[in-house]
Amino acid sequence: MKIVSPNEEPAGSGRGGATFTGDVFTYVTMEYTDGAAVTNVCFTPGARTHWHSHENGQMLLVLAGRGWIQSQGETAHVIHAGDTVWVPPNESHWHGATKISYMTHKAISLGNTKWGDEVSESDYGKGVD
Ligand code: MN
């Protein structure tokens, strides 16, 4: 058994980087344990992940705000507070805030995450607000 208290300070934040575009604040709820990691991620308007996939899938619970999520080859979907998203294993996708809203989600990530290219402005702009 493992009991984890939430971090009070973000584990990562700031603009840009190898995995995110824009200003994103990441709060680790549970470090990678037995193949699962739990994090709360707050995306500022315009911020989003790079394209990536999760070895054994990922569940996203949208806690606040409004965002977009898109799998490769599909159109982007709007997600709101209260939504739950299951991303199947190894499906390439990105998620983030819309251009005019914050979005905070809890991410339960299973297995290793493979990171790819950033989401271009033109791909990001195809979301419907
Ligand atoms: Mn993901």
Centroid of ligand 1 to alpha carbon of 24 (angstroms): 14
Instruction: Answer yes or no: is pLDDT of 56 > 90.
Output: yes
- Mean pLDDT throughout 37-51? 95
Centroid of ligand 1 to alpha carbon of 1 (angstroms): 26
Q: pLDDT, tens digit, for every residue of 94-105?
A: 999 999 999 999
Q: Is residue 4 part of a domain?
A: no
What is the domain extent for residue 76? Answer: 13-124
Domain count for the chain, please give it: 1
Catalogue the E-assigned strands of 1-129. Answer: 20-21, 24-33, 36-43, 48-49, 52-54, 58-71, 77-80, 84-87, 93-97, 103-110, 113-115
- The proportion of the chain whose per-residue pLDDT surpasses 70, expressed as a percent, equals 88
Q: Is residue 5 part of a domain?
A: no
- Mean pLDDT throughout 88-94? 98
Res 48: pLDDT:
96
CATH code for position 68:
2.60.120.10
Centroid of ligand 1 to alpha carbon of 8 (angstroms): 23
- Mean pLDDT throughout 11-40? 84
Prediction pTM value = 0.90
